[in-house]
Homo-oligomer: A and B are copies of this chain.
């Protein structure tokens, strides 16, 4: 950590960025594209919460795909200046060109880490790069001295389990979470520094990916660079569900508060050498070591979720009529792909801009105000039996998926609503409350506002006391700078009786707590 966010010395993408030299200023392409998208969502990209969103989105994409520096064509003069500066200060530096449109300049103190000038970019420098990561961390380690057996640098299984990663889905551009497990069997009396297994995996995760290919690439890279007896890579991947699917199946009977609630999951693996035979003894041992950590790979090789259905966007028609009017948005996303040096005509990427726009359009701004038109949204005004006026009613674990307006990334979780019935004998049932939650989450949001709006909407109808607790995982806390994989945010809003009655508040919190304890 120690990396500070945009608006500060950028410790995470530290390279020197050129302003575009004499050519067109390409550096702002992603930012411009994001502004187009915001407009398409009916938003004013100059309003406070959105003003820096284009910059944040661009930064996340660039970091997330290891595009550190982009410029049209750095002039010889610029390169010379950097080189001269570094020479004068005895700083190691190197300049790499990966393609006509992407360059990277590295500055590092040769004195301090003895390793200035190594490549970290993508593209052509690819194979060298993994070799570079690995070669400084291959250590001689003797095998067993005597007796029949395997251990140390010759044949003893080594497995690093539970490496948290994230990547970007090439079908829809959304980040997906990865729990990565890497095993290998050393040979030639050489073992690899453990952190390198994680670093190599991360190099391949940091691009537009698809789980199966990701597993293959990590596996092949490790096999090629450390030449062990075999490598086994197993990935558990979670892809966020699209709101359409969430709406269709809000799962009211068995609500779950687990982090991955509602996510699409797949497990994939790739192996080489001694792990090639999946029923072999070594593969069994790998799986046993994972089982110690509660990880079951049973479903991986026996099919599991088909890779064709991995990205939920694939099952939606990407070119539906509703998107025909959004060609300007699709073009904007296509330009983002180009900015990432991806080829939008690559087979896997052809529908991606459509799918990303489709995802975004779930969060289109609506001028319709639910609180003023509540009854049209499944709010039931029927005169029904109302339980005692002082009894707290509650609906727990109403799922939602909103879009963070600061990062254009989803945050998702559950909402708990406690309420007193008012004197007007109106009621709202669970589907009604779910509609309210859905309405306010399907837009560019911040969690604090979402919580407040839900409370106000419910209060508008019932007119007595309402308390709302929202719990959410923010993808921007995982896939961006801070990378706090486990963090989870809770927000609270109280109106009416709850605001003045501390007992009512704590009683409702206790109700939520109990629902968790009973496996909610």
Contacts and interface: CB of A to CB of B under 8 A. Distances in A.
Interface stretch (A135-143, A229-237, A311-319, A355-363): A135-143
Interface string A144-160: 11111111110011111
A126 interface: no
Interface residues of A, number: 146
Contacts of A459: 146-147
Contacts of A111: 17, 19, 25, 27-28
B491 A112 contact: no
Contact of A202 (B1, B137, B486): B1
B289 A490 contact: yes
A264 interface: no
A35 interface: no
A77 to B, nearest CB: 8
Given A8-B118, A48-B139, A149 B491 contact: no
A4 B133 contact: yes
Contact of A191 (B25, B446, B513): B446
Given A16-B89, A157-B491, A491-B158, A152 B452 contact: yes
A385 interface: no
A337 to B, nearest CB: 19
A455 B147 CA distance: 11
B2 A448 contact: no
Oligomer copy total: 2
Interface of A: 1-19, 25, 27-28, 48-49, 52, 55, 58-59, 63-64, 66, 68, 77-78, 81-82, 84-85, 88-91, 106-109, 111-115, 118-120, 132-133, 136-137, 139-153, 156-165, 186, 191, 193-196, 198-199, 202, 206, 257, 281, 284-285, 288-289, 291-293, 406, 446-449, 451-452, 455-456, 459, 468-469, 471, 474, 476-477, 480-496, 498-500, 502, 505-506, 509-510, 512-513, 516
12 contacts: A2-B12, A6-B114, A12-B12, A78-B88, A147-B456, A148-B496, A150-B493, A160-B487, A161-B487, A161-B490, A198-B484, A289-B490
Given A11-B120, A141-B448, A198-B477, 16 more contacts: A4-B120, A6-B113, A6-B115, A7-B114, A19-B90, A78-B89, A144-B456, A151-B451, A151-B495, A158-B447, A158-B490, A160-B487, A162-B488, A194-B476, A281-B506, A288-B512
